[in-house]
Each structure stands twice: as structure tokens, then as C-alpha cells.
Amino acid sequence: MKKKYSIKSLIKNSLSDNENWGKMWRNPNPKKHYDVIIVGGGGHGLGTAYYLAKHHGVKNIAVIEKGWLGSGNTGRNTTIIRSNYLWDESANLYDHAVKLWENLSEDLNYNMMFSQRGVLNLAHNEHDIKEIKRRVSANRLNGLDTMWLDKNEVKDLVPIMNTDNLRYPVLGAAYQPRGGVARHDAVAWGYAMRADELGVDIIQNCEVKGIKTDNYKVEGVETTKGFIKSSKIGVVASGHTSVLAATAGVRLPLQSRPLQALVSEPIKPVINTVVMSNAVHAYVSQSDKGELVIGAGTDGYNSFTQRGGYDVIEETVRAIVELYPIFGKMKMLRQWGGIVDICPDASPIISKCDVEGLYFNCGWGTGGFKATPGSANVFAHTIAKDEPHKINAPFALSRFSDGRLIDEHGAAAVAH
């Protein structure tokens, strides 16, 4: 039955202490065969299943997740959303996502808490100014709402920022007002609930141990709940994608590293936008609960331990305290890590490969949350039609042999 959320259902359920909301999705046992199997129950995977069922009429789909839904990077990120990337290919892809974000709560009838509070990217030196102004101009040519703000305009937006009395003074910033944040869990749960309603089997606590192929064709997946047959498999497993690819004999140009975030004790509202800085490597926003959400960098070596090193947090916190002296005495409540899949050109791979029926959506690295609906939408197209949508065609694996890289190291320099 289609679940409707409204002010009426809120009031009604509050009268019974919110005990009667019911399950949001089924918990089925896997069937022997599916038309499409999605490996990875993060936002990108669940969204892909949703769009496959909704837009492409695929009936028999499973999403297989090794932990619980959103227990990967979808539930571990700092939720910054923006589309101010340098190259046309990226601007198209990321803004496709921002446009979908703008209607996602309505489309899924589930509150994404998408808050377009704007995103600032600070400049601290001459080179930053040149790089950022170039990116602002490129964005404007692509019809994006990015603009250059001088120091005083930055200070007006974020009065608590120390712009002058620090080692790397703030000289200005790029500002994208349509950027912002959303609720990470809601994305996974919203897509999961609506995909389930369309008949998608969501199978949690089930690890894919290997992808079975025969003569460069997929046959199915070996899982902890047995073998499941399928002639189309989409792998959307972030940090574990290359490990899974290897079981099918496919190599991907990815390196997996821990990326960390931390949140503070909740305080009254002090910052109503998102501020990021490449040069001193720090970014911060304030959640609706009042916690500061702070993103640190990646560890300097490959690892799947999902924790992250303390020296990395130290570096970030040092930069945060210098930029915002008012935060100096705050207590941090929680810290965690996620394993991100980093691609050589800091752009994702949404692509077919040499094995028929095997599709990859990976390489999102430190910054794929913002792209969730867009990525899922074009990946569903790629799987259904067995050819890329025009938006993701440039993000093919072939770019690592033909040299058409999409270098976004500038736009993705602060790891988020």
C-alpha cells in the first residue's frame, strides 16, 4: 500500500505515541532470479532501483546490501550539495542532480529536508582567487547560479568568520545559493520505500561474495544467502566496488581510503550556510539539531578500516578553530569514517565494461552524496537501455585509455 505522509498522518500517529507507523519496506527472502540486481544499498543503488522500476518499467529487481540500508557513505557523509564543478560534463551531471533534489521530497512524498542555504568556497591566496574566478565564469557559462563574493560580502553572510587575523586570510569566495544540505538517511529511506512499493526486493544483511561470469557475460551473484541469477548487475558499492569488480576479473582505476567527519554538541544557530575551504582543508555547516557538522580529509593511504587517523582530524580542527575562533571551546560528540573510492581525475565512473551485463557506478570518492538522484537516474537509463544516457556518456571507463579525463581536482579539492 502506498504510504502517504502529511500533516494529518503526523497528528494521527502522534496520538498513538508514534507506535503505529508500520514498516517502510518489506524484508523479503531473495528469489532465485532477478532481471536486474543492484549491489549496494546506498542512495545511488536504491535510487537506481527506483528509477529502473518507475521510468523503465523493469519489474523484477533486487537491491542487495551487506549491512543495513545507508550504512555506507550515504549515512556517513556531511550532506553538502552543490553543482559548481568546472567542466561542462560535470556541471551537466551535478546540476541534473540538484534539479532532481529540488523536487525529490514531492516525488517521493518523503521529506528530504533539502535546505538550499547556499555553499561558499573560500579563497585564501592569489592562486585560489584565479582558480575560483575561473570556475565561477565556467559555471555561469553553463547557466549555474555561482557568483564571486569579496571579503566583505563573505563576512556579511558569515559574521563569525575570522577573515583577517589568521595565517591564510580570507580574500573572497565562490557562492552558489542553490547549494545546501539534505538529510542523508531520508534519501536512502525515501528511495527504498518507493522502490519497495514498485515491487523491488530490498535484501539487507546479505553480502555479495562474488560476481559470476561466463565468457565475458554475467550470470549472477554468489551471496551469503546463496546464488542469485541475473543477466544484468549494477555495482554501486563505493569503497568496495573495485573488490567486487575483481571477482568478475575487471580492474577499475580506484583507490579506497577512509574519509572522516565529526559533529559537535548542539548549540544555537550561528551559521546558516555551508562554508568550505580547499586551502586550509576544512568545511562546516550547522545541522537542524544545532550540531556543527565538520568534514575532515582522507587518510593518506589505502584502507578499508572505516575509522580514519587522528592526525587528519587534528589538522581539520586546527583550521576550523582558526577560521571560527568562537568554536574553540566547543566539545565534539562523535567522529566516524567511511571508505571512499577515489578516481584519478576526481570524477565518477558510470559505465559499462568489457563484461556483458555488468555496469559500474563508482568513483564518487569524497563527493557523491550531492549527485545521488542524478547519478541514480542516469545509471538506471544505462542499465535499462544497455547504453549510457547522454549526461553520463563522458563518464565511461574508456576515458582512462583515450585520455578524455574530466579533471575536477579543483572543484573536489576539499574532501567532502
Partner 1 sequence: MILIKCPYCGERDQSEFSNGGEAHVIRPKNPGSLSDKDWGEYVFYRNNPKGIFYERWVHSHGCKKWFNAVRNTSTDQILRVYKVNEKRPDLSDFKNTLKSPSGEPLVGSGNFAVKK
Q: Does 208 bind ligand FAD (CB under 6 A)?
A: yes
- The CA-atom distances, in angstroms, between 107 and each of 47, 49, 104, 259, 313 are 12, 15, 5, 31, 38
- Give whichever of 67 and 290 is closer to partner 1, judged by the CB atom: 67
Instruction: Count residues binding ligand FAD (CB under 6 A).
Output: 40
Using CA atoms, how far apart are residues 310 and 333, in angstroms rounded to an integer?
Answer: 15
- The HSE-up count of residue 227 (CA atoms within 13 Å, CB side) is 7
User: Cell for 213?
Assistant: 561470469
The site for partner 1 (CB under 8 A) is made up of 66-68, 71, 207-210, 224, 237, 240, 242-244, 246-247, 251-256, 300-307, 309-311, 336-337, 344, 400-403
Q: Does 370 bind ligand FAD (CB under 6 A)?
A: yes
Answer with the entry of partner 1, ligand FAD, none that 45 interacts with (C-beta below 5 to 8 A by kind).
Answer: ligand FAD
Q: Does 77 bind ligand FAD (CB under 6 A)?
A: yes
Pick from 409, 407, 413, 182: nearest CA to 297:
413
Residues in Cβ contact with 285 at an 8 Å cutoff, skipping those fewer than 6 apart: 78, 79, 80, 117, 181, 271, 273, 274, 275, 292, 293
- Give whichever of 105 and 256 is closer to ligand FAD, judged by the CB atom: 256
Answer yes or no: are the C-beta atoms of 92 and 410 closer than 8 Å.
no
Binding mask 136-175 for ligand FAD (x = CB under 6 A): ----------------------------------------
Using CA atoms, how far apart are residues 384 and 397, in angstroms rounded to an integer?
Answer: 18
Answer yes or no: are the C-beta atoms of 395 and 89 closer than 8 Å.
yes
**Which segment (53-61, 98-106, 255-263, 317-325) binds ligand FAD by CB under 6 A?**
255-263
We find the least distance from the C-beta atom of residue 342 to partner 1, in angstroms, to be 9
Pick from 268, 265, 264, 235: nearest CA to 341:
235
- Give whichever of 153 and 185 is closer to ligand FAD, judged by the CB atom: 185
Answer yes or no: are the C-beta atoms of 317 and 263 closer than 8 Å.
no
Answer with the entry of partner 1, ligand FAD, none that 162 interacts with (C-beta below 5 to 8 A by kind).
Answer: none
Residues that bind ligand FAD (CB under 6 A): 39-45, 64-67, 71-74, 76-80, 207-208, 236-238, 240, 244, 259-261, 295, 338, 340, 364, 366-370, 416
